[in-house]
Structure 1
Amino acid sequence: MSYFAVAVGREGDDWEAAEVDLDAVADVEDAAEAMREAFPDADLTLLFVDADDEYLTVMRLDNGDDLRTFGSDAEYASQSRLGEALLGDLEPEDTEEIDSEDEESIAARPTELDAEPVGEADLLGDLGVPGSTLLALCAKEGMMPSDVVSEVAKSIGFAEALEDATGA
């Protein structure tokens, strides 16, 4: 299964992005190390992994520590070695606990999830992307992982850095 991975690091108010090679990743700690290497001085690093335009994994590393992960579908763990490394130890997301008071999230919410999200959907909540919004974007018909990343980038404020790094 092919993948595309991009790390985004924030130092103060400035964002930078870079493609990341995860071929040697055997577990989440290896992924965290790749994030640290990409942006060693970042106070916040995000990693977005798009697998075959079907599965999205989002990882967050605060101050080089405190790793949190979200996967759009638990099936990714059974479909690839990288999926197993990133998502294999995560529990399904309890979508009932996600704050759904935000009107935009309610309007965008799908009527039914076709996937089984895992990890922490609310890992970007303090950055302006509540868990309910992330879940809605992942479940939206016709929305590919790269589209979700673009929407998240616009919401958080690193769209320009992402475009510079990926050309997209």
Structure 2
Amino acid sequence: MYFAALLARTEDGWEASDTELDNVETLADLADLARESAADDGETVIVFIEQEDAWFGIVRVDGEDDPRVFVSNATAAARSSYGEILTSEILGDDDDMDSALDELVDLDGTEDGEPEADADVDVADSDGKVLPAGPLGDGRILADLGVSERELLALESGDALGEIAEAIGAGEILEAVR
């Protein structure tokens, strides 16, 4: 079971709405949906997606900028249709894979970005692209809103979205749409 919500940042704070992802087939579709939820052009919209306790994803859309994506567990997300949309976008085509893997956030919170040897278990998605175990994407996606990369990496699936929403000042609003 999935939960998805859109949080749009306005002059008066955050406004949230739950959303159906039935018509979303690409990240571009999701970004368009996010932009439509913004009251004004250029507003920041955060899309939260989670699949029970398996994984969560964050998509950030700032106006017409390209969406930024973070997935808490790439291997778990790749096993679901919406997660596969996010992981495929992060990895891009084969030419972009090396640079996407370079941006893989480390699993142990070390500053040097070197994952522990036993945490380096990879799987392949449906297109045959190798997905690293653990988080994938832009770990600094919410840094300017008060959630550092280190804090984001430390979150366990469970109620991670609630903790994130609380940290950015939208906890009550997110709970209202749950």
TM range (shorter): 0.7 to 0.9
Asked whether the equivalents of residues 58 and 70 of structure 1 are also in contact (C-alpha less than 8 Å), the reply is: yes
Please give the TM-score of this superposition, normalised by the length of structure 1: 0.77
Label 1:83 to 1:154 Cα distance change in 2 as closer, same or farther (>3 A): same
Indicate the residue corresponding to 2:62 in structure 1.
Answer: 62
Q: Structure 2, unaligned stretches of length 5 or more?
A: 91-99, 112-117, 122-132
1:38-94 alpha-carbon deviations (Å, 9 max, x no partner): 224261100110113211000101124331000011113431222111221323423
Asked whether the equivalents of residues 9 and 45 of structure 2 are also in contact (C-alpha less than 8 Å), the reply is: yes
Aligned equivalent of 1:126, options 144, 149, 154: 144
After TM superposition, which residue ranges in structure 1, 4 or more long, deviate above 3 angstroms? 112-115
Residue type matched to 1:126 in 2? D
Larger radius of gyration: 2
**Counterparts of 2:48 and 2:61, CA distance in 1:** 12
Please give the TM-score of this superposition, normalised by the length of structure 2: 0.73
**Equivalent residue pairs, number:** 147
Label 1:14 to 1:94 Cα distance change in 2 as closer, same or farther (>3 A): closer
Asked if residue 116 in structure 1 is aligned to residue 116 in structure 2, the reply is no
Q: Which one has the bigger helix percentage?
A: 1
Listed as ranges, the matches of 1:43-62 within 5 Å are: 43-62=43-62
**Counterparts of 1:158 and 1:99, CA distance in 2:** 29
1:90-147 alpha-carbon deviations (Å, 9 max, x no partner): 2342328x796xxxxxxxxxxx969421110110001110011000013xxxx51xx1
Indicate the residue corresponding to 2:106 in structure 1.
Answer: 95
Listed as ranges, the matches of 1:139-158 within 5 Å are: 143-144=157-158, 147-158=159-170
Residue type matched to 1:159 in 2? G
Indicate the residue corresponding to 1:105 in structure 2.
Answer: none
Two-structure CA RMSD over aligned residues (Å): 2.3
Asked whether the equivalents of residues 76 and 84 of structure 1 are also in contact (C-alpha less than 8 Å), the reply is: no
Q: Structure 1, unaligned stretches of length 5 or more?
A: 101-111
Q: 3-state DSSP class of the match of 1:65?
A: coil
